[in-house]
Chain A
Amino acid sequence: MSDSNVLLDVRGLKMHFPFGGGLFGGAKGAIHAVDGVDFAINSGETLGIVGESGCGKSTTARAIAQLYKPTSGEVVLDGEDLTKLSPTKLIEARKNMQMVFQDPYASLNPRMTSGDIIAEPLRIYMARGLLAMSRKETEERVELLMEKVGLSRFFKNRYPHEFSGGQRQRIGIARALALRPKLMLCDEPVSALDVSIQAQILNLFKDLQEEFGLTYLFIAHDLAVIQYVSTRVAVMYLGIIAEISGSADLYKNPLHPYTQALLSAAPIPDPGIEKKRKRIILTGDVPSPDKERTGCYFYDRCWKRMDKCAQCVPKLKEVGPGHKVACFLY
């Protein structure tokens, strides 16, 4: 993993949302949605982030996209630290980083045609003087993008409600591609789709990555989907990364107890295997990220916990080639 190939480098990212307080402010506490996340993605790779609700994966993506201003930490995209850029420079930098959202129904403006939706990023940049394209060029780009994502260009005057879920997600992907970004942040893009459509869209993601040399940050809660799509996987829990390693390695050799529990809980569509599996059933609920924690975040639900785990927070440590885990067992 050569350093010069790194496209996105996230260091010490924290995102705390203060809450409470009376009429005159003064936060009573904060939700530590993201509590110190480090990783790097090489150009052309896909980093998958997997975790359950409340683990902070969506917030991480939005903090990287600067939709939220990170409480602390650095987000270095192609050499520039996005957290320190002025608003104008940030907009220029955004050209290289686009998002695909989860809900194909809510992420498209219901009052705009699909052609307009896809052209919108181009128009925004033209309005800011950062891009010069004639009307004809814009049209052509939109049609090309629609073809690339598998939509007929004759549908560019139709409204989102006339498309199915999978097609709407394709529109969202075309929109994200409009500015030819280098990095795509995909926030659970297939979670809301039917299984048969999900497979189509996942294939589409892979094809586009090959064709355009894209780098993905891919978030999902389905482990099998993440495994299929990612080169490397990070497992998040309560705002921190519990384990990060190459995709195949993680599934063959999960080290963190939480990863093991997740893999054990994920259903496999094979009755022979399912009926014979010994599952690790975690007790308790997925906790919420609003308490201060001393000690390992997974302590309450871990069946391998030790005394040490209650006292200090384990740091991510490299235990194998490219395989890091945050656990005192190692």
Chain B
Amino acid sequence: MTDEVILRVRDLRTYFNTDEGVVKAVDGVSFELRKGETLGIVGESGSGKSVTNLSIMNMIPNPPGKIVGGEVLFGERDLLKMPPREIREIRGNKISMIFQDPMTSLNPFLRISTQMMETIMLHQGLGKKDAKAKAIEMLALAGIPAPEKRIDAYPHQFSGGMRQRVMIAMSLSCNPEILIADEPTSALDVTIQAQILDLMKDLTARLGTAVILITHSLGVVAGTCDTLCVMYAGRVVERGATEDVFAAPKHPYTRGLIKSVPRLDIASDGRLSSIQGQPPNVIDLPECCPFYPRCDQAKDICKKKYPERSDFGNGHSAACWLYSEAK
């Protein structure tokens, strides 16, 4: 991981117009991604993590959603302001995505070879034979046994773990700078999850790819990410190096979350500590800290204004009134 920043997301806002009101799915998200870094975005349902990820690639379905503000700087250029033609050259090529359910993200009617070759030929201008060779090479790299034979198979002939490997191979085939992985292992069994995460770590280290890993599992984040962002109700409430955040979580939500995960290595008796209340309803959210109803340290100001960001050094920051005074 170097210090060169390749992606800068500043104050990203994506709103959805629904019958019940405006859903501010992403409401001011900022972070930076360095070359070769693995950034984890952690959040529960309604936190906006998947929408953030789609917004970066400008893939929000236009009604009902709209990216209403912010910028996503890839190098010098703002992805949100690029014309469709240029953005298509970046997708799959410089920035790739993999999704949670490999069964629905692979076209069940096309062979794997067709799907993989499509991306390679499109972005790298290789001929059919060369593209196929490259695809086979990537499949081998991804740990698929006998790739020359299996490349002509259809997605349903692979198991879940294998399909995810195919997805990884496909997404890395054009050697992108950034890989965005949206819950890549949530649908997989735990032993397969270990395999896939291992594979991702290995390949991205070898190819020098930066990764944005979106997940709800703190264990996965602890094992694979260098830095992490914790999201709640469309905003980043805490971010920093993984070790720092786990060792000294500043935001009450992060603290509560870490404490409420049952741990294998610590024998527990009695109760699991948990965060009371329900995940927030982000429709027509008023101006306040969205976590305040569930927070055991809430103050008066928390009901009235969204807290300012406080810095704790080494890139560790949190947005909470406990650490900054209202002016």
Whether A271 and B191, one on each chain, are in contact in the complex, defined by CB atoms closer than 8 angstroms, is no
Q: Could you give, for residues 276-314 of chain B, a 1 whenever the CB lies within 8 Å of some chain A CB and a 0 otherwise?
A: 101100000000000000000000000000000000000
- Interface assignment of B218: CB less than 8 Å from any CB of chain A: yes
A271 interface neighbour in B223, B256, B268, B278, Cβ under 8 Å: B223
Q: Could you give, for residues 248-279 of chain A, a 1 whenever the CB lies within 8 Å of some chain B CB and a 0 otherwise?
A: 10010000000001111111111111110101
- Interface assignment of B195: CB less than 8 Å from any CB of chain A: yes
Task: Pick the interface stretch among A68-76, A92-100, A131-139, A196-204.
Answer: A196-204
Whether B272 and A196, one on each chain, are in contact in the complex, defined by CB atoms closer than 8 angstroms, is no
Report the interface size for chain A: residues with CB under 8 A from the other chain. Answer: 46
**Restricting to B217-242, which residues have a CB under 8 Å from any CB of A?**
217-223, 242
A residues near B6, Cβ cutoff 8 Å: none
Whether B274 and A267, one on each chain, are in contact in the complex, defined by CB atoms closer than 8 angstroms, is no
A residues near B326, Cβ cutoff 8 Å: none
Whether B44 and A279, one on each chain, are in contact in the complex, defined by CB atoms closer than 8 angstroms, is no
Shortest C-beta distance, A151 to chain B (Å), equals: 11
Task: Pick the interface stretch among A119-127, A211-219, A221-229.
Answer: A221-229
A residues near B276, Cβ cutoff 8 Å: 200
**Restricting to A282-315, which residues have a CB under 8 Å from any CB of B?**
282, 285-286
B194 interface neighbour in A53, A198, A281, Cβ under 8 Å: A281
A residues near B271, Cβ cutoff 8 Å: 203, 206
- Interface assignment of B322: CB less than 8 Å from any CB of chain A: no
Given contacts A200-B276, A271-B243, contact A228 B262 (CB under 8 A): yes
B residues near A271, Cβ cutoff 8 Å: 222-223, 242-243, 246
Whether A274 and B222, one on each chain, are in contact in the complex, defined by CB atoms closer than 8 angstroms, is yes
B264 interface neighbour in A166, A200, A221, A266, Cβ under 8 Å: A266
Query: Cα distance A264–B267 when bound, in Å?
Result: 16
A residues near B258, Cβ cutoff 8 Å: 269
Whether A194 and B273, one on each chain, are in contact in the complex, defined by CB atoms closer than 8 angstroms, is no
- Interface assignment of A113: CB less than 8 Å from any CB of chain B: no
Report the interface size for chain B: residues with CB under 8 A from the other chain. Answer: 44
Whether A269 and B190, one on each chain, are in contact in the complex, defined by CB atoms closer than 8 angstroms, is no
Chain A interface SS verdict (over half): helix
Shortest C-beta distance, B312 to chain A (Å), equals: 17
Query: Cα distance A273–B265 when bound, in Å?
Result: 10
Whether B256 and A269, one on each chain, are in contact in the complex, defined by CB atoms closer than 8 angstroms, is no
- Interface assignment of A165: CB less than 8 Å from any CB of chain B: yes
- B42 to A, closest residue via Cβ: A195
Whether B198 and A279, one on each chain, are in contact in the complex, defined by CB atoms closer than 8 angstroms, is yes
Query: Cα distance A285–B263 when bound, in Å?
Result: 26
**Restricting to B195-229, which residues have a CB under 8 Å from any CB of A?**
195, 198, 216-223
Whether A228 and B268, one on each chain, are in contact in the complex, defined by CB atoms closer than 8 angstroms, is yes
Whether B264 and A165, one on each chain, are in contact in the complex, defined by CB atoms closer than 8 angstroms, is no
Shortest C-beta distance, A36 to chain B (Å), equals: 22
Whether A165 and B191, one on each chain, are in contact in the complex, defined by CB atoms closer than 8 angstroms, is no
Shortest C-beta distance, B153 to chain A (Å), equals: 14
Whether B264 and A227, one on each chain, are in contact in the complex, defined by CB atoms closer than 8 angstroms, is yes
Interface centre among B191, B263, B267 (most CB of A within 10 A): B191
Given contacts A202-B262, A285-B161, contact A195 B218 (CB under 8 A): yes
In the complex, besides A224-B262, A262-B190, A267-B217, 11 extra interface pairs with C-beta distance below 8 angstroms are: A194-B44, A224-B263, A224-B264, A228-B272, A264-B194, A267-B220, A268-B265, A270-B246, A271-B222, A285-B159, A286-B159
